Amino acid sequence: MFCAAAMLVALLSLTATAGAAAPAVSTGAAKGVESGAVTLTGSVDPNGEATTYYWEYGTTRRYGSRTADGSAGRGGNPRRVELRVEGLAPNTRYNYRLVASNPSGVRSGENRTVTTRRQPLGLQISAAPNPVVFGAPSTVVGALTGTGNGGRQVVLQQRPFPFTADFTDMGNPIVTDQNGGFSFPILPLPGTTQFRARTVEPGNVFSDVLTLGVAARIGTQVNDRSVRRFRRVRFFGTVTPARVGAPFEVQRKTGTGRWLVVARGFTSRRGDTSSKFSKRVRVTRTAKYRVLVHMLDGPIVSGFGRDVGVAVKRRR
């Protein structure tokens, strides 16, 4: 009886093994194709055993990349599977195939190809420094992104304050580098100016508008850098361009890094191109000071002078 039972178990095992097989796999057509992503599809028949699957993909038939494993279950019928793959290069042809495995073996679907879409061109610009001190140069740097961004002509346009006129081109176009980068040197400006970049035909692409502020140039001096405690120090200097009656502040830097207003005043006439300021401040501790001049008109924005250190002498 024991031998008969053993033979029955063995027979059932052989029958089960004979009924199982490696999965059947078919690579499907890609869908949802974008410039940097695509949805891969296919079908997997587990043939009665627990089956996992993944896609291989790359720019050659050697692939080089693969997705994470997914489960196709253990059924006996084909099952449709799909997965969104991102991080692809635009306007690029990719090879891909579906691979599935179970205890009975590994099977690969046929190789298929898909070409990602072209990435639309886009323009971004920034300025350094911004704001720029009156009389100093600046630079507008930018990047043209998208398919075919290298070797394209870009023009910089400007519109001065109060920004009511149309943008006008500044000089000749320049050509982007192989990565789409470009830069325009900006000579000293008379006042705050808006900029934007555009590509040259065919097809104009515009950047967002960049406002480059022009800050008043503040020249700061003190009559003494080392005084006894509670003595007064005179902060004085110039403001360019000239603004008579502009409010200014003398500020002291605290131990926490904040700037505390310790004196206020108004600028006065110095000449046609610059105005002046002067204020005496009682010094109670060693600290750094600076002068902020508030500009009340639009073309010129408020400006800071340099940090000036004033030390309190120790008593002997």
Give the whole-angstrom CA distance, residue 246 versus residue 297. Answer: 10
Whether residues 187 and 260 fall in one domain: no
**Is residue 9 situated within a structural domain?**
no
pTM check: above 0.75:
no
Domain boundary residue among 213, 229, 263? 213
Same domain assignment for residues 267 and 292: yes
Residue 139 lies in a domain: yes
CA distance 138 to 214: 10
Tell me whether residue 266 is in a domain: yes
Q: Are 102 and 134 found together in one domain?
A: no
**Nearest to 28, CA basis, from 89, 81, 72:** 81
Q: Do 99 and 148 fall into the same domain?
A: no
Domain-embedded: residue 185: yes
218: burial class by Cβ within 10 Å (0-12, 13-18, 19+)?
buried
Q: What is the pLDDT, as a whole number, of residue 71?
A: 97
CATH for 40:
2.60.40.10
Q: By residue range, what is the domain housing residue 299? A: 216-312
Do residue 220 and residue 209 come from a single domain?
no
Look at the block and give the residue holding tokens 């000071």: 289
Instruction: Give the pairing type, strands 226-227 and 308-312.
Output: parallel
In a shared domain, residues 269 and 245: yes
User: What pLDDT, on a 0 to 100 scale, did the predictor assign at position 12?
Assistant: 40
The residues of the chain scoring below 50 in pLDDT are 1-3, 5-18
Q: Of 213, 243, 265, which marks where a domain is finished?
A: 213
- Residue 69's φ and ψ, nearest 5 degrees, are -70, 145
User: Does 292 lie in the same domain as 223?
Assistant: yes
Same domain, 246 and 294: yes
Rounded to whole angstroms, the Cα distance separating 260 from 262 reads 6
Last residue of a domain, one of 190, 213, 236: 213
Residue 16 within any structural domain of the chain: no
What was the pLDDT predicted at 152?
95
- Give the pLDDT confidence of 4-46 residue by residue, as tens digits: 544 444 444 444 444 579 999 999 999 999 999 999 999 999 9
Is 161 part of a structural domain of the chain? yes
Are 156 and 207 members of one domain? Answer: yes
- Measured CA to CA, the distance from residue 53 to residue 44 in angstroms comes to 8
> How many domains is the chain partitioned into structurally?
3
Are both 201 and 263 inside the same structural domain?
no
Distance CA 285, CA 229 (A): 7
Whether 102 is in a domain gets the answer yes
C-alpha to C-alpha distance for 137 and 172, rounded to whole angstroms: 19
Same domain flag for 69 and 100: yes
In this structure, the chain runs to a length of 316
> Residue 229: which residues within 8 A CB-CB, separation 6 or more?
283, 284, 285, 312, 313
pLDDT at res. 19: 58
**Residue 8: φ, ψ to 5°:** -65, -45
pLDDT tens per residue, range 88-135: 999 999 999 999 999 999 999 999 999 999 999 999 999 999 999 999
